[in-house]
Structure 1
Amino acid sequence: MGLRNAQQKKNQQIVQKMIKALDDDPYEPRRYYDLGSMLTEMQSFQQAEELFLKGLNVFEKEPAKQNILHYGLGNVYYSAGMYTQAVQQFDLVTDQKLRLDSLMMLAQSYYAQQQYQQALAYALTVSEKRPADPSPSALLGDCFLALGDFKNAQNYYDKSLAKDPANVRVNFQRGIVALALGEDGSRFFQQVKQTDPKFYRQNKERLDDIATLIKDRQDPRE
């Protein structure tokens, strides 16, 4: 409890400094973004939303400066589980430096809404533009797994793990795919167990159920 209170106090101090920085220069969009992102991290979603909307209004006649604010507001909505609103904001980002990040967030937003084909399209674009980044490949694996395409899921999880071999969640997902394909997934689950024993314990009991569901989807019964 003491550690939690200490972190909350530290966060409040950071927020106060950011508020002062914004007051000192209210015409710098990055100040809105930094403060809004901190509020989002603290799950103060309403405050973050209000701040970004205020910033968008301030720069109403300067659309180039609105890009980072649309991106920040999209992250607020995504974090709050408001995926339709998140998509609307990420779609408005045109700045080239932020565009790929926005495309990745669009992919994640569509995935969260179980719109896997749309998520695939955006994640594939990011994967092609950022071949060294393991995240797009991992999301592509998630999409194909959700669609029951285990071979493609295997392919993209392997690509992601080639760049980030110790990733706990991707190793777990890769193990599930191995089970679905009738292969031995033990080495992936062993990696999870070694890297994050708590994650493994929390998810171990789900293995049998997940494997059963995947196999039923692969070979549905009449």
Structure 2
Amino acid sequence: MNQNHKAFQLWENGQLNEAIQLLFKEIEKNSENSDAYCNLASLLILAKKYEDAQVVLETALKKYPKQLELLYAFGNLYYHKNNAIKALDYFIKVFNGNEVRLKEDATIMIGQCYLVLNNPKKALVYLLLAHENNKKDNSVILLLGDCMMQISYFNEAKNYYIKSLKLSPDNDEALFKRGLVGAALKEKSENFTSFFEKSKELDPKKYEERLYQLKEIESFIFSQNNNIKKETYDRRDG
């Protein structure tokens, strides 16, 4: 069996460390196996061993400076390190490349980066393109809903979350966001609270995390509004 395939089988079975060790050994035996570098970096990113992943990618990029898989892996690394600006540089290089599968993946990641950078209109351009290429990709449908939420197009966001739930009725994220957009649209509480309840039932931990994030966002907006009001009053008093 191909060692790369074997490593991912180990990962799927929950044996992440064993998968990483296998790929390290494969690189020691065959330093020209570029796939092993990419896969090892991907597994190290999953294990949140970002510095190790960076060393692996930098080593590989010296050997294969134009390989799009490595550029994509670098983008993925910086995205997970919460550096969306640097991640964008790599994903855009892949987007401008000539590998169809990687280009499609990069299109989605560019959209995600722009969302993280609070630029939903730019995100929308890439995510609509990704959606055009694959109408059934639920992750893209959810991201489109998030874009619409960020620009306060709540009815459009609601339509995307409904599409998502048609494809995957037990998607806890889609259920939570359908509840959220229902609250934003001031629907009757009985129309949207059931979505929150089902989302919580499916994944209580994720539900609490999402609630906490919402409270942090609300707190930030509240403090920003108060600062704006204070500055306005100060100017008036001055």
- Asked whether the two chains share a fold, i.e. TM above 0.5, the reply is yes
Count of aligned positions: 202
Structure 2 alignment gaps of length 5 or more: 1-10, 222-238
Structure 1 alignment gaps of length 5 or more: 1-6, 214-222
Q: Which deviates more, 150-159 or 45-54?
A: 45-54
Deviation of 1:117 (Å): 0.9
Whichever of the two has the greater Rg, that structure is: 2
Q: Residues 13-162 of structure 1 correspond to what in structure 2 (within 5 A)?
A: 13-60=18-65, 63=66, 66-93=67-94, 94=97, 95-162=99-166
**Superposed CA RMSD:** 2.5
Q: Hey, what does 2:197 align to over in structure 1? A: 190
Deviation of 1:28 (Å): 2.3
Deviation of 1:200 (Å): 3.5
> Percentage identity across aligned positions?
31
User: So what's the TM-score if we normalise by structure 2?
Assistant: 0.77
Deviation of 1:199 (Å): 3.4
Q: Which has the higher contact order (CA 8 A, sep 6+)?
A: 1
Q: Report the CA distance shift for 1:50/1:203 in structure 2 as closer, same or farther (over 3 A).
A: closer
Q: Residues 200-215 of structure 1 correspond to what in structure 2 (within 5 A)?
A: 200-201=207-208, 203=210
Q: Does the aligned pair in 2 maintain the 1:29–1:68 contact within 8 Å?
A: no
- 1:38-83 Cα shifts (integer Å, max 9, x gaps): 11111111221121122111013xx3xx111011111100000011
- 1:76-121 Cα shifts (integer Å, max 9, x gaps): 0000001111111111112112111111111111111111111111
1:172 maps to a residue whose letter is: F
Deviation of 1:14 (Å): 2.5
2:168 maps to a residue whose letter is: D
- 1:106-150 Cα shifts (integer Å, max 9, x gaps): 111111111111111111111111111111110010111011110
Deviation of 1:206 (Å): 7.6
Q: Report the CA distance shift for 1:192/1:132 in structure 2 as closer, same or farther (over 3 A).
A: same
1:92 is paired with a residue whose SS is helix
2:164 is paired with a residue whose SS is helix
